[in-house]
Amino acid sequence: MQKANFTPMDIKVAIYEDGKLVRDALQTILNGTPGYACTGAFSNGSNWEADIRRSNPDVVLMDIEMPGLNGIDLTRLITQKFEGVKVLIQTVFDDSDKIFKALCAGASGYILKNDPPNKYLEAITEVYNGGSFMNASVAKKTLNFFTQKNIILISPEGADYQLSNREKEILTELVQGNPLKNIAAQLFISHETVRTHVKHIYSKLHVANRTEAVMKAVQQGIC
């Protein structure tokens, strides 16, 4: 059941979740919160392309474990076919292998099912605005996984990325797993200013996303 009326300002969310109770609860939260609308809820990905076209979401909440296509494969298909759609993985699992595969498949973030509703809304907003959301414990596990697998972002010896003091402050916050909204509040600047700084950081570090920026910062002691 999708929201009967929603405004152009609402963040449109589609849900892929095979558990009916969880699916219904997520719909209720989204449709009961101003600024959000559930435009589709599906128990599996058997008709994923038609589902996405019909629901036209900004963000997809994606369960990893589903019958048929799993959430990681479905994430890859959706992000390849629908470039503007962001996928937020949600699962009971927090093992590094699944985290890594989900991010490689094109997921913009990762949240655990035992996170509270306000975290879900925060994560949805974050990825909708172009950010990348990770539960703090998940972010740590991801970095540990990359390190254990010797996945290293190489740079020229002694490279100077010319980061400003403000950019280093923001990069430090990214490493700690803080969402952009919280960074803005912490540094007393606007959300849009943080987004602009983050884009500059990515450009200077020669990375494509938050995960790569964090990896590079940690591995090379940039901040």
Q: Specify the pLDDT at position 35.
A: 94
Q: Specify the pLDDT at position 55.
A: 95
Q: Specify the pLDDT at position 142.
A: 62
DSSP string, 158-179: T------HHHHHHHHHHHTT--
Q: What is the largest CA-CA distance in the chain?
A: 57
Q: Are residues 39 and 137 in the same domain?
A: yes
Number of domains in the chain: 2
Dist CA 171 CA 87 (whole Å)? 23
Counts of helices then strands in the chain (DSSP H, E):
10, 6
pTM (2 d.p.): 0.69
Residue type, 219: Q
Q: Report yes or no on 1 lying in a domain.
A: no
Residue for token pair 């609860």:
25
Q: Report yes or no on 6 lying in a domain.
A: no
Domain of 45: which CATH number? Answer: 3.40.50.2300
Question: 9-51 pLDDT, tens per residue?
Answer: 899 999 999 999 999 999 999 999 999 999 999 999 999 999 9
Provide the token pair at 114: 């035992």
Q: Report yes or no on 5 lying in a domain.
A: no
Other C-beta atoms within 10 Å of 16: how many?
27
Q: Are residues 128 and 107 in the same domain?
A: yes
Q: Which domain holds residue 70?
A: 11-145
Provide the token pair at 154: 């190489």
202 contacts 213 by C-beta, under 8 angstroms: yes
Highest mean pLDDT among 43-57, 160-174, 198-212: 43-57
Question: 107-166 pLDDT, tens per residue?
Answer: 888 888 888 898 899 889 988 887 777 766 666 666 665 555 555 555 555 568 899 999
The residue among 84, 119, 145 that closes a domain is 145
Domain of 216: which CATH number? Answer: 1.10.10.10
Dist CA 65 CA 33 (whole Å)? 27
